[in-house]
Each structure stands twice: as structure tokens, then as C-alpha cells.
Chain A
Amino acid sequence: MTFEKFVFYVFAAVLVFAATMVITRKNPVHSALFLVLAFFTSAGIWLLAEAEFLAIVLVLVYVGAVMVLFLFVVMMLDIDTAVLRSGFIQHLPVGLLVAGAMVLEIFLVVGPANFGLEKYAAPVRHAADYSNTQELGSVLYTVYMYPFEIAAVILLVAIIAAIGLTMRKRPETKHQNPSEQVRVKSTDRVRLVKMDAEK
């Protein structure tokens, strides 16, 4: 076993372990943290497959941004796992049956019979100075320019939709008005009232 293969198996084992933990942990925060581990290990596997750019992006975007957001949301929401887990045992046999059938189907279609090495030759190894970031960039802004622009428009729509749906002026929310705060005078704060002494 070469060193590379050894690294692959280590990463693969950790990945499978982390993925299993994601769906079996009771505490959603633990699940999210295991998902971070799963992303890291898959980034490692992508590095082995010479997809350096994608590996870095996976760590930066998913671990750095998406998962942090995920953790925030999970910590802010009070999720009652007991409700989510009710009926788990009851539905387990059906779920296992469907999952088993899907695994079998996927193995038959995507497995070595159709996508084996004799059908699709392994890609050629590139030299160490080969930059796949540059390769991606050179097609992204030429051949795939149109889809790239549409993707940008989709992000714009997402921004409009998110702001449009969440930003609202509620009458009960209180706002600070700094200019009024600065211009305030002592007479605005304390009102002296003259009144006769009570007997």
C-alpha cells in the first residue's frame, strides 16, 4: 500500500465516521461540529484527487461561513429532539427497506459495471506546477460566462427576496435617534412641577 492510498483510506474512514455521527448524535451542536469534520476530510480527499481549488473553497465557504451560520442557528433555536425522534423505531423498517433498495440501485448503476476503470480511464496526472485554479478561471469567464452571469442574478434575487421578506417596520420596535440624543437639554429630561404642599 502506497502512502497516498493509506492517506486516502484514513480520510475515507474518518469521513464515514463523521457522517454517521452527524445523523446519530442527539445534540444538534455536536452534529454540526461533526459535519465540519466531514467537510474537512472530504476536502482532504479532493486534494488527493488534484482538485486543490475546490478543496480550499470547501473549507473556506462551507466550514468558514456556512457551518458557522448553521451553528448560530442551531444554538439560537430551541429544537425539541424528542418530538423529532418520536416514531423513529416505528418507521425504521420501512426506512431501512427504502434505503437498502436505493443503495443497491445506485451500486448497480454508478458501480464499477458502468463507471469502472475499463469504461472511463483514470485522468492523467498533472505536473506539480499545474494550476487548476487558473484552468477553472479561464473557462469560467469565457465558455461558462452566460451561466456564471445567471448565477449572479440568482444571488441578487436571493438578496432581494431575503430583505423583502424580513425587513419590516414594526410599530413596537424602538429606534435610537442620535441627533436628538445629542441635542437633548436638561429641561427635556426633568420637568419641575410647582405644587402646593399636601396637608
Chain B
Amino acid sequence: MPFEMSSLIPVLPEIFILTAASVILVVDLFLKDSQRVISYGMTQVSLLLAIGIVLLTDSGARQIIFDGSVVRDSMSDVLKIAVLLISAGAFLYSKDYLRDRALFKGEYYVLGLFAVLGMMVMISANSFLTIYLGLELLSLALYALVAFNRESVSGAEAAMKYFVLGALASGMLLYGISMIYGGTGSIEFSAVAEGLANPNANKMVLVFGLVFVVIGMAFKFGAVPFHMWVPDVYHGAPTSVTLFLGSTPKIAAFALAMRMLVDGLGTLHADWQGMLVILAILSMAVGNVIAIAQSNIKRMLAYSTISHVGFILLGILAGTDKGYTAAMFYSIVYAVMALGAFGIVILLSRGGFEADKLADYKGLNERSPWFAGMMLLLMFSMAGVPPTVGFFAKMFVLEAVVSVDMTWLALVGVFFSIIGAYYYLRIVKLMYFDKPEDQSELTAGLDTKIVLSVNGLAMLVFGLFPSSILTVCAIAIAQ
């Protein structure tokens, strides 16, 4: 079979990120500690260039290349741009944090870029093998990042926990994939879907495999009852890593679910819908209720992630284009919200001080009215208060669920978001109505302050004009 160089164009963004990561790795060897900012700058430039490459190489049509390993469609383009942009934001916030703690090293950014590459591979995977490899690439880089601060015992413990549970989840996923391969004779999504459409297909084996695939996916999402690692990892990891870990991988997890469950196992929708209903209800219940009892903001946001994952699953389980669009919108919006919320945690931290207690937020309004306002917007958005974008994200998901006649499920979702509103509003109360315990100045650099302001204001702007992202998502899903 002749090989055409032009067939590589659709994977150019991935090739570029891989090359950039390798170049930065080598360049970083020749830099002095005082010049680390060069590796950081190169990382940011590569992420932004990669966005340009995604836009330039967009052919507008759905392309399947590498003998069915990779798919390039507009959903993958939109998600890749979101991942690249949010990762750039995450790296920007973490710069000062890392520098204050003597963690400002080239490997941090190289591993981060490889994690981004893993997400991109997952997003445009078209076979179980590719999606699994992308997932492993992402996870491996994240395990190392969680343990990045070698002085921290809790970081090492979190990394160990994450690693062991992650490996277990990968095992589950692989076992499920092997069953599906046994039942359909292929690992490529379109061939799997064809095999499933065959009336002679062995339903029992396939559903058995599906259970394991869903378990593996739920682990990666952090959905209840596979959420045990989430609070410990969020808490133990350095805040800059938590920021990265808590934002973009949710988009990748959404892509994972879409590719595997919808592209591959779409025919078994009736079977996985029931499983996702259980996961979604449990996630919303456990996440929102346990978050109330937390006194550490990183743990609180971890439980809040779990509850938001429940909402993303609600959108996917609806099984309609409307539901997928809502879930995609939700996952992107959630990644931006999490980025902003952890960004504020980083803003308040300084060398030797982690602003991770809820009490550290007391009287933030007196210390910095502007950033208290940004946190207010982010918390309102997470709670789903109009006119912030979080409200619309929740509304679209609920609308999709109602439109497939599962009104009771929408009611459950609303009920738990009302419970959830309590702990988000508690932070607002602490910021505005309590006396500050700590009067020190905010030390963050200008770049962090500007991006954080943009991030906070985005909650409001996209809340006023939600259709801008929603249309993009709807077009992407429709293709």
C-alpha cells in the first residue's frame, strides 16, 4: 500500500505537540535555573501554535485515517482547541506557584505537554486501542505530575493511590474491550458498531464487556462509586497540578465516553443508559452532600467535581444529539470554571502558604474586591445561578433529559444542585461577610491577574451569550 505524506495532515496538531515536547525537553537541559522561563514560554507558544494548526488543517469533513485508528471531525477539533486553550491557562496560573516552591522545572511543562498529547489522542481516537493508549499517556504523565513535589509526603501518597487505582481501572477497561473484541471481532469503532448491529451478535458477552468498559470510564471520570481517588489526589497534589488535573481531563473523559459509548457501542444505548443513570444519581448525591462537610477548599472542589461529573453523565445518557451537545457544553464550561476556581486558590497562595482552608477566604472582599468578585462569579457559575454560564450548562442538560421523558431524573438533578448551592454560597458568605484573618497582599504577577480576570468575566459573558459556544458544540455533534 503506497504511503502519502498528505495523509499525515489531519494528525498534524498531535505531531506538532509531540515535536514541541521533545524539543523543549532537550532545550531545557541546556538552560540554567534562572532561565527556566524559556521552557515555560516555549510551552505556551507551542500550545497556541497547536491551536492555529488545528484551525488551519480543518478540512470540514469527517476523515478517518491510519487504517481506522484516528478520526478527525469537528467534535475533535472543538474539544482539542478547548483542551489546548485551557491547558495554556493552567500553565500560566501555575508559573508563580511553582517558582515560589522551587518546582519551576522543565519536566513539569514537558510532562504537561505529553498529558495534553494524550488527551488529543483520546479525543480523536477511532479504535479501542488508540483510546486506551491515549488514556495511558495522559494518566502516566498525570501520575508523575501529582508526585512532582518530592518533599511532600501527601503528594507521594496521592500519586501512589492514583497510580494503583488508575492501573486497576485500566485493567477493567482492557478486560471489557477484550470481551467486545471477542463479541464483534474488531476494535475499530465503526466495525464494532456494525458487529453490534448483527442480530446474531452475542448480547451477553457484549453487555458483560460493556459493564467493564463503563466501570473503567467511570473511574477516569471520578464518578461515584469509583470516586475514592478524587478527593485524596486533589488534596495531595500540588495546587498547580490539581488545577491541571481538575480541568482539561474532564473534557478528555467526555471524549472518551462519546467515542466508546456513542461511536462504538451506540447500539447498546438501552443497556448503558441504565448504568449511567445509577452513576449520575450517585455522583450528584455523594458529591454534593459530602462537599458540605469539607473544610479544605481543594477537597471541597474535588467533591464538587464529582457532582458536576454526574451532570455530564446526565447529558450523555439522554442519548440524543441534544443531550450530547449539552454534555459537551457542560464539560467545556466546567473545565473553565474549575480552572478559574483553582486559579483563585493559587492566587491566594504564596511561598510556604497554601490557601487551601475555607477560613483563608474570609474577608477576601476587603483584601481584594476585584478578585472576590471573580470568585463570586465562579462560585455562582458552579452553583448554577443565572446569569452565569453554569446556569445555562445545567439548564441545557436538564432540558435534554426532560426531552427524552426522564423528568424524574431532571428533578433529582435539580434537587441535588440546590443542596450543592449551599457550599458554593458559603464561600461567597465567607468572602463578603466575615472579617479577614490574614491581611497580606496578593503577590501574583500581572499575567495571572489579567488571565484570571478574563476567566472570571468569561463566566458572565458566556452566561449572557451562551449560544456562542452552544452553536459550536451543536454543529460539532451533528457532524
- A residues at B contact (CB < 8 Å): 109-110, 114-115, 119, 142-147, 150-151, 153-154, 156-158, 160-161, 164-165, 168
Q: Does B67 contact A (CB under 8 A)?
A: yes
* B82-90, B143-151, B230-238, B383-391: which lies at the interface: B143-151
Give complex CA distance A110, B111 in Å: 39
Q: Which residues of B1-30 are within 8 A (CB) of A?
A: 1, 11, 18, 22, 25
Chain A at the B interface: SS class: helix
Decide if A161 touches B137 in the complex (CB within 8 Å): no
**Chain B contacts of A145 at CB under 8 A?**
66
Known contacts A119-B202, A165-B147, A165-B150, A160 near B133 by CB under 8 Å: no
**Chain B contacts of A165 at CB under 8 A?**
144, 147-148, 150
Give complex CA distance A26, B202 in Å: 43
**Chain A contacts of B258 at CB under 8 A?**
none
**Chain B contacts of A157 at CB under 8 A?**
111, 114, 137, 140-141, 144
Give complex CA distance A110, B175 in Å: 12
Number of cross-chain contacts by CB at 8 Å: 73
Q: How many of chain B's residues have a CB under 8 angstroms from any CB in A? A: 36
Give complex CA distance A147, B135 in Å: 12
**Chain A contacts of B18 at CB under 8 A?**
153
Chain B at the A interface: SS class: helix
**Can you list 8 residue pairs at the A/B interface with Cβ under 8 Å?**
A109-B205, A110-B205, A142-B1, A146-B70, A153-B18, A154-B137, A160-B25, A160-B114
**Chain A: minimal CB distance from B431 (Å):** 37
Decide if A109 touches B69 in the complex (CB within 8 Å): no
Decide if B66 touches A154 in the complex (CB within 8 Å): no
Decide if B179 touches A109 in the complex (CB within 8 Å): yes
Who on chain A is nearest to B121 by CB? A150
Give complex CA distance A174, B140 in Å: 32
**Chain B contacts of A158 at CB under 8 A?**
140
Give complex CA distance A74, B136 in Å: 27
Decide if A168 touches B136 in the complex (CB within 8 Å): no
Give complex CA distance A161, B205 in Å: 38
**Chain A contacts of B143 at CB under 8 A?**
161
**Chain A contacts of B204 at CB under 8 A?**
109, 114
**Chain A contacts of B344 at CB under 8 A?**
none
Decide if A142 touches B67 in the complex (CB within 8 Å): yes
Q: Which residues of B127-145 are within 8 A (CB) of A?
A: 127, 129-130, 133-134, 136-137, 140-141, 143-144
Who on chain B is nearest to A163 by CB? B107
Known contacts A150-B130, A150-B134, A161 near B140 by CB under 8 Å: yes
Decide if B111 touches A161 in the complex (CB within 8 Å): yes
Output the residue of A109, A114, A157, A161 with the most chain B CB within 10 A: A157
**Chain A contacts of B148 at CB under 8 A?**
164-165
Residue of B105, B117, B129, B179 touching A153 (CB-CB under 8 A) = B117
Give complex CA distance A164, B67 in Å: 36
**Chain B contacts of A115 at CB under 8 A?**
182, 205
Who on chain B is nearest to A155 by CB? B140
Give complex CA distance A183, B206 in Å: 73
Decide if A153 touches B114 in the complex (CB within 8 Å): yes
Give complex CA distance A158, B137 in Å: 9
Output the residue of A142, A144, A160 with the most chain B CB within 10 A: A160
Known contacts A154-B136, A154-B140, A165-B144, A146 near B66 by CB under 8 Å: yes
Give complex CA distance A164, B148 in Å: 8
**Chain B contacts of A146 at CB under 8 A?**
11, 66, 69-70, 130
Decide if B202 touches A160 in the complex (CB within 8 Å): no
**Chain A: minimal CB distance from B107 (Å):** 4
Decide if B134 touches A161 in the complex (CB within 8 Å): no
Who on chain B is nearest to A162 by CB? B144
Who on chain B is nearest to A120 by CB? B182
Who on chain B is nearest to A143 by CB? B67
Q: Does B257 contact A (CB under 8 A)?
A: no
Q: Which residues of B86-135 are within 8 A (CB) of A?
A: 105, 107, 110-111, 114, 117, 121, 127, 129-130, 133-134
Give complex CA distance A147, B14 in Å: 13
Extra pairs beyond A147-B129, A164-B105 (10, CB < 8 Å): A109-B208, A114-B205, A144-B67, A144-B69, A144-B129, A146-B66, A153-B117, A157-B144, A164-B148, A165-B150
Decide if A154 touches B25 in the complex (CB within 8 Å): no
